[in-house]
Amino acid sequence: MRGRMTKADSYVQPFEIGKPIVSHVVAKVIDSTLADYKKGDVVVGMLPWRIINHVQADQITKVPTTDVPLDLYLSVLGMPGQTAYHGLLDIGQPKAGDTVVVSAASVL
């Protein structure tokens, strides 16, 4: 979010004054014409902070029905957790006996 609060060069566009903030959100479907989504489904997506959003199917992902608290889909089960997981395992590729130092853990 910090990178979006300034006009400095960043990998994302800065927030626009007067427009809703766009970020990862958890939402509940209140109505749908999409075959894969029905009223009551919980979804995640990169959406504007609004009470009601009208979205396309490619903007959201259905959250599995579990006992997991929904806020975890914005942290450890969402983009931050996926970044940490793939960064460590796919890029870092630690081997048995390696020492891993976590200098910051801002997922939760």
Q: What pLDDT was estimated at residue 105?
A: 60
How many domains in the chain? 1
Residue 46, domain extent: 2-66
Q: What pLDDT was estimated at residue 57?
A: 94
Q: Is residue 102 part of a domain?
A: no
Residues of the chain where predicted confidence (pLDDT) is lower than 50: 107-108
Q: Is residue 12 part of a domain?
A: yes
Q: What pLDDT was estimated at residue 7?
A: 80
Q: Is residue 107 part of a domain?
A: no
* 26 Cβ neighbours under 8 A, 6+ residues apart: 42, 43, 44, 63, 70, 71, 73, 74
Q: Is residue 20 part of a domain?
A: yes
Q: Is residue 94 part of a domain?
A: no
Q: Is residue 89 part of a domain?
A: no
Q: Is residue 45 part of a domain?
A: yes
pTM, to two decimals: 0.73
CATH number for the domain that contains residue 15 = 3.90.180.10
